[in-house]
Amino acid sequence: MEPESITNTALVNFYPVTTEIFFGLLALFLLFVFSSLISGAEVSFLSLSPSERSMVNSSKKKSHQLIRNLLAAPDKLLTTFFIVNTFSWVTIIILATYIFSSLVVFSNLTVANLIIQILIISGFILLFVEILPRMAANNMRVKMATFMARPVYFLSILFYPLSYFLVHVTSNHRNTSQGSNLSIDEISQALELTTSEENMEDNGILEGIVKFGSTNVYQIMTPRIDVVAINIETPAEKIIEIINHSGYSRIPVYAETFDKVEGILYIKDLLPFINNIESLEWQSLLRQPYYIPENKKIDDLLKEFQKNKVHMAIVVDEYGGTSGIVTLEDILEEIVGDISDEFDDDEDAFFTKINEFTYIFDGKTQLNDFYRVCNLDDHLFDEIKGEADSLAGLLLEIKSNFPKLNEKISFENIDFFIEALDKRRIKKIKVVFNNV
Ligand code: ATP
């Protein structure tokens, strides 16, 4: 028989709390406490920092050993949390609905009844089971994980058959799924979408790694026109002057022209002879040059550098002429961005940022670096750049003849102004981004 309502208005009827409902409310309260502890445990287990993990790993406490064991099988642990959460949520919802409709009834307004129940129950679950416990647990991860280690361990054993089944079903599905064939472009786009102010640096490094395998040496080398090299007939006193002036640790040495590189002079090989340099046959100190083609991929070159213990390679074109040089630092910069060593000063920077929309670049700036600095799509100039790999080369391709000083060359929303040039080279370019 239905209990009689204690109030009876046109809209809403309230019923008294019976013994059955009282125990239902008690069970509901306990379920809320249990669920919020499980949510807190989930956060604390899964967001332990590396230092907290190593503290737990080196501890002899029983609860820390249990945390270690649980974290050793993350798939199983996640599935246990998933199962327990699902069970407790479903039980909470059914029980709360039953209690609610036994206490309050909106006279025959079934839809209103339903909407109010959904709002109240979901609000309670979100606040007390999800948001508050997770926030609290995040502020005391180790304490919470230690406190919950035994209950979670017990639950992981209790639900072992079910979690074992779920882990295996999903891992089989993952192994057979075709979805993992992501292209480099897709991964780059995903990284761009997830870039925020705080993780810009990390994403820059990840993007560098993603593009690493598709970048070739020609895109990152120092072109021959900028290489400091020495003619093999240069007298010893003179080479000291050149070395001092350049500041580089390795200098290519050529016979007649730079197309015939005879070896690399390592400055450290000269040091033992520094006091009697005039009488030194410095050519005897040359090390074998390491030649590579322009289209070699830089990930392969990095492996070769490691295997052969060299730091510099001479880049040769298809006719055997020298195109430039590439060093270990050039390769690493593709991942971590600009590396300044002790002797680099800011004047060596290849660009100056005037404001958010305006930059001044060296003409020799590689397009790769230009994209990176200005945060541009790597394929922006693909259709017009032809063989060009530097900014100056790009402008020559767009213009098709040699530009004049202060001339403006536009492409889409970018204006390039020739700021400095000599007879053969565009030296400085002002880049202005419009309507960004
Ligand atoms: P180290 O840091 O080992 O002393 P380094 O400072 O002389 O060497 P790297 O750090 O290998 O040179 O390279 C720094 C940049 O200088 C790279 O872009 C590289 O291409 C360029 N570079 C190195 N040697 C020369 C050189 N002889 N002429 C022109 N550019 C060079």
Any idea what the CATH number is for the domain that residue 277 is in?
Answer: 3.10.580.10
Does the beta carbon of 228 lie inside 6 Å of ligand 1?
A: yes
Q: Residue 117 and residue 100: Cα distance in Å, rounded?
A: 7
C-alpha to C-alpha distance for 46 and 128, rounded to whole angstroms: 20
CB of 227 sitting under 6 A from ligand 1: yes
Whether 407 and 378 map to the same domain: the answer is: yes
Q: Does one domain contain both 90 and 233?
A: no
Answer yes or no: is 324 within a domain.
yes
Pocket test for ligand 1, best of 250, 269, 365 (most atoms within 8 A of CB): 250
- The residue whose two tokens read 């100190």 is 285
Q: In what order do the strands lie in the sheet with 312-316?
A: 222-223, 322-327, 312-316, 291-293
Distances in whole angstroms, Cα of residue 328 to Cα of each of 53, 264, 311, 312 = 35, 15, 5, 7
Amino acid, single-letter form, for residue 41: A
Mean pLDDT in each 10-residue stretch from start to end of the chain (436 residues)?
53 80 93 94 88 86 93 90 92 90 74 82 88 90 94 94 84 52 64 59 71 85 91 89 90 94 93 83 92 92 92 92 94 77 61 86 89 86 86 88 88 90 85 80
Q: Are residues 330 and 384 in the same domain?
A: no
Residue 191 in any domain: the answer is no
Residues pairing with 167 in the sheet: none
- What is the domain extent for residue 311? 217-336
> Which residue has a Cα nearest atom 3 of ligand 1?
249
Instruction: Kindly provide the residue ranges of all beta strands, DSSP E only, lying in 356-399, ordered along the sequence.
Output: 358-362
- Which ligand 1 atom sits nearest the alpha carbon of residue 326? 20
- Indicate if ligand 1 lies below 6 Å from the C-beta of 220: no
d(CA 378, CA 214): 12
Residues 304 and 372 in one domain: no
Q: Whole-angstrom Cα distance, residue 57 to residue 65? A: 8
Q: Is residue 341 part of a domain?
A: no
Q: 297 C-alpha vs ligand 1 centroid, how far in Å?
A: 19
The CATH number of the domain holding residue 384 is: 3.30.465.10
Any ligand 1 atom below 6 A from CB of 332: no
Whether 396 is covered by a domain: the verdict is: yes
For the record, the structure tokens of 419 come out as 């700021």
Examine residue 202 and state whether it is found in any structural domain, yes or no. Answer: no
Q: Do residues 282 and 428 both lie within one domain? A: no
Q: Which of 329, 362, 369 to mutate to test the pocket of ligand 1 (most atoms within 8 A of CB)?
A: 329
| DSSP symbols for 289-313 | P-EEETT-BHHHHHHHHHHHT-SEE
Q: Is residue 24 part of a domain?
A: yes
- Whether 16 is covered by a domain: the verdict is yes
Residues 236 and 129: their CA atoms lie apart, in Å, by: 78
Same-domain status, 231 and 316: yes
Query: What is the maximal distance between C-alpha atoms in the chain?
Result: 117
Same domain, 307 and 361: no
**166 shares a domain with 37:** yes
- Residue 323: strand, helix, or coil: strand
149 plus 70 within the same structural domain: yes
The reply to whether 325 and 371 lie within a common domain is: no
Q: Which pTM was predicted?
A: 0.50
Residue 110: which residues within 8 A CB-CB, separation 6 or more? Answer: none
Query: Are 244 and 393 within 8 A, CB to CB?
Result: no
383 C-alpha to ligand 1 centroid (Å) = 32
With tokens 């994980």, the residue in question is: 145
Q: Compute the C-alpha angle 149/154/160, nearest 5°.
A: 120
- SS3 assignment, position 366: strand
Whether 350 lines ligand 1, by a CB cut-off of 6 Å, is: no
CA atoms within 13 A on the CB side of 107: 8
With beta carbons less than 8 A apart as the criterion, state whether 77 and 157 touch.
no
Please name the residue that has the structure tokens 């005879």. Answer: 262
Distance (angstroms) between ligand 1 centre and the Cα of 247 equals: 8
Pairing outcome for strands 12-14 and 7-8: antiparallel
Could you tell me which of 390, 385, 392, 400 has the C-alpha nearest to residue 430? 392
Residues 320 and 393 in one domain: no
The pLDDT of residue 3: 52
Residue 254 CA from chain centroid, whole number: 41
